[in-house]
Structure 1
Amino acid sequence: MPTRRHPYPEWALARRALLGRRIAALRRASGMSQDTLAAAAYVDRRSIMRWESGTRDPRYLDLVLLAHALGVDVSDLVTVEDPQAG
């Protein structure tokens, strides 16, 4: 895979990490394991692990499937509120 010509800015990487924490918090709140969420969202468990750890970004359709599986709106996944901040 080719490397990016320009690295992502820090604020974008911070938002990626925040998205991962949000997915993990919503998954735990719904009582799902990573395996269960992966099956409900039609992805591999490795994808859930990568998104929650903030090492990869889900595609838009993956966000739609995640939101549906978690019973939330897509906007609830991409909110700027940090689930660990309180």
Structure 2
Amino acid sequence: MSRRRTPRPDWVIDRRRLLGHRIADLRRQAELSQEQLANLAGMERRSIQRYENAQRDPQFSDLLLIAHALRVHVSDLLHSEQPHDGV
């Protein structure tokens, strides 16, 4: 697997962190554990954990599966009340 030549900008890291918090908040609102969400989404619990902890960037298809399992639109995962740069 190839590595990035330049590190990701801070604002990208911040948005990944916000996405993780958003997934965790929606999961808790749905009264689901990470294991339950993973099962509903057809994923490994470890993937949910890594996304919530901003350790990995989810693929778009994973976002679709998570949103479907949480019964929200994928844009609800990406929505944030925080101001952001460029996106």
Normalising by structure 1, what TM-score?
Answer: 0.90
Q: Which residue of 2 aligns with 1:10?
A: 10
Structure 2: 5+ residue stretches without partners? 83-87
Inter-partner Cα distance in structure 2 for 1:23 and 1:51: 8
Aligned residues, how many?
A: 82
Q: Which residue of 2 aligns with 1:45?
A: 45
Shift of 1:80: 2.2
**Percent of residue pairs bearing the same amino acid type:** 54
Structure 1: 5+ residue stretches without partners? none
Inter-partner Cα distance in structure 1 for 2:78 and 2:12: 12
RMSD across aligned positions (CA): 1.0
Inter-partner Cα distance in structure 1 for 2:8 and 2:75: 23
For residues 30-84 of structure 1, the C-alpha deviation after alignment (integer angstroms, 9 at most, x for no partner) is 00000000011111000000000001011111111100100100000001225xx
